Structure 1
């Protein structure tokens, strides 16, 4: 791949979620490799700086500049902005497939209508990614790579990693303090989670919301189980962070959770929420986790080791893609 004069990584201003953190990580790792990468915040007409939560990445921002020799990387939810690039090279980083397709796995027609609305609003192209072949494509997941290949596009693998503060063993030092708590994100697969809460009223289900990083870390450190029956649009950060705090996981099989490349945890902890007997199956597994936690904690050991290797792979992929050597640590 050619060397670029400037690499602009587009991100909505003020957003503090998994995707924006990945975009800041990407820019920071590029900078560490000596690449001229900058955050470029939306809307382009206003100046912005990194949110306080991402100040640790020490990225710099630059104004939008569609100029020859530049590369502009957009998250996959801004394909129409990428298509407007005329002089620079445009790229899309597929951090989520479901969010691009507006797919929620509720009902096929429902998802198609959602996508059609985005087309009418001018936010999605007719024909999906088949309309985006002139753009560079970077893919975070095998899930999105499979879709892109079906559209005649061979994407460039580019994963991310969770916060490196969580990639040590410091939250795995002991398990005797773990409590019979089941944590969940109320924005992910709520209908399924709600059915489980109703089925097991004596169990302690706690939502993970409205917490700063320290509070979230403490809650994950104390709990035995984290569940996620959402649509897993990409390599979701919360399950990964939960695992690195010593939680066991139970997930569904939608989206990126449906393969062993993007979520390579033991298959017995992935349950089909649409299957007959799902609620009972979940109950038996969750009860066994809480009753014999050391056994299940050990079962997640290989997955945690895999997570700890993500940061190295991420940096190596960036170096390979841009053919640069490390200039600074």
Structure 2
């Protein structure tokens, strides 16, 4: 039911139809309330540079894969990053460190994925400032903070803002509830950089824009950890006439399905609600020889022993590459803010 509701809403938000027009007065109220909150917020400065990776479209645009790629790029250039996040759907009010063994129901699935992918200090809290302060106290060597999401969390002062534009673009260009945006499109003129992630929309903005290149190469058998290329799995499927399903609890599951099909895999797509909690095992009733899932789903599956033993399941990591000029731009702006190392 939730998948159908999400699909219905995004279809309405993709155009300026009757429902969107009827909701337009409520959007004015939403914008007024947001502006009032922003005017009353006094940003808190943190002792290290802060980069916010966010969006103005409600829901997923690929912020977390961009955050992971950014962390890795900064590490290669000699920075010591830490990551803070709200921990969407997590169950912790006070700042909490995310460990590789953390429960995604407590810390959130995306922060856990970031930790597993980068192994950098990662903290979650509904208050980004509290998360930042706790992280820096525990890890004083950290010299840059990346905020996964939080573009609208103005309590935390930031030194560089990245807005990620995903596959859905900007929808009908209106703010909630008549449209899908948290802030009007003009907000994109205020950020430092736009990252275009699989969008075909023409974005009208004066802000420098960079393309994120993403794709799949390998799959990891969930039960054994064995790595195998998707092209090899595609050949095996054709040779042995295996049936295959793809299951995804992400913002745009259709993209995951189509990227698998681009490797020659014949899969039946099964969408789940974004941030699906996996309280139940959705795979046991799937009649397929192969099942492909995302990394974001995989971090929540370990609560089920039967899923751990299911040799049909393959995790497909998303490999994303950021434009080197974006990293140059970030470094150029932040290099003067980098704390000096103590002798």
Is this a same-fold pair by TM over 0.5?
A: no
Q: Which has the higher contact order (CA 8 A, sep 6+)?
A: 2
> Which TM-score band applies after superposition, normalised by the shorter structure?
0.3 to 0.5
| More helix as a share of residues | 1
Structure-2-length-normalised TM-score: 0.40
Structure-1-length-normalised TM-score: 0.42
